[in-house]
């Protein structure tokens, strides 16, 4: 637990590097799908049914439940696509996730709100890369999925365009 600016933040220990994510993927690796388990703070990268690697992740600052509205701090749940890449991100690099889909937008509009958007897999804020795995101590994004800068470099290179990403509770 840490007190930051009068706000009590719960922190968790940084997980040890597991054998399946202690190596770099080969330069020619192709990730054809991603599966996120929010409750485990893990993202699994596959080529077809073959598990290539797992990544420890941080989520939105209010991680429980499906993202419904702009600013709710939740990471979406469901099946989306990796639909864009940005090498000039404010968070080292990012891969865009196709949230919101039609159902997400329709639900938010039915409540008179915006579903939000700009959900990404990204690295650390520019200039903060030295934090490395320390970012895993708490969920800190606005709904995105965060990994280290080195890991987002690997994902940026290896994830095929339009690859599905399934985000589970």
- pLDDT digits over 43-61, tens only? 999 999 999 999 999 999 9
What is residue 14's predicted lDDT score, i.e. its pLDDT? 60
For 121-157, b/e burial (b = at least 16 CB within 10 A) is bbbbbeeebeeeeebbbbbbbbbbbbbbbebbbbbbe
**Cα separation of 53 and 47, whole Å?**
10
Nearest of 168, 169, 163 to residue 52 by alpha carbon: 163
pTM of the model: 0.88
> Which is more confident, 88 or 22?
88
Specify whether the CB–CB gap between 113 and 133 falls below 8 A. Answer: no
Specify whether the CB–CB gap between 163 and 33 falls below 8 A. Answer: yes
Specify whether the CB–CB gap between 28 and 157 falls below 8 A. Answer: no
Residue owning tokens 């949230």: 99
Peptide bond into 94 cis (omega under 30): no
Going by C-beta distance under 8 Å and a sequence separation of 6 or more, which residues neighbour residue 164? Answer: 33, 34, 79, 80, 81, 82
37 counts as catalytic: no
What is residue 15's predicted lDDT score, i.e. its pLDDT? 64
- In terms of DSSP bridges, do strands 145-146 and 120-122 run parallel, antiparallel, or are they unpaired? parallel
Specify whether the CB–CB gap between 119 and 95 falls below 8 A. Answer: no
User: Hey, what CATH topology would domain 29-168 get?
Assistant: L,D-transpeptidase catalytic domain-like (2.40.440)
Average pLDDT over residues 119-123: 98
What is residue 129's predicted lDDT score, i.e. its pLDDT? 83
What is residue 29's predicted lDDT score, i.e. its pLDDT? 96
Tokens of 127: 């200039």
Looking at 37, 122, 135, 161, which residue is catalytic? 122
pLDDT-based confidence at residue 108 (cuts at 50, 70, 90): very high
138 counts as catalytic: no
Tokens of 19: 């054998």
Looking at 37, 135, 138, 144, which residue is catalytic? 144
- Is a pLDDT exceeding 70 seen at residue 8? no
Average pLDDT over residues 13-17: 62
What are the structural domain ranges in the chain?
29-168
């Amino acid at each position: 637990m840490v007190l930051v600016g009068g706000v009590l933040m719960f922190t968790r220990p940084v997980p040890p590097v597991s054998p399946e994510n202690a190596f770099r993927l080969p330069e020619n690796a192709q990730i054809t799908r991603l599966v996120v388990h929010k409750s485990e703070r893990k993202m699994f990268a596959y080529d077809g049914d073959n598990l290539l690697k797992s990544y420890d992740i941080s989520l939105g600052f209010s991680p429980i439940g499906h993202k419904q509205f702009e600013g709710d701090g939740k990471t979406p749940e469901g099946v989306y696509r990796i639909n864009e890449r940005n090498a000039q991100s404010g968070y080292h690099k990012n891969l865009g996730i196709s949230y919101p889909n039609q159902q997400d937008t329709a639900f938010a509009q039915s409540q008179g709100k915006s579903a939000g958007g700009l959900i990404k897999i990204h690295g650390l804020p520019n200039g903060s890369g030295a934090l490395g795995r320390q970012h895993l101590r708490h969920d800190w994004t606005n709904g995105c999925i965060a990994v280290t800068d080195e890991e987002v470099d690997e994902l940026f290179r290896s994830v095929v365009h339009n690859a599905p990403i399934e985000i589970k509770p």
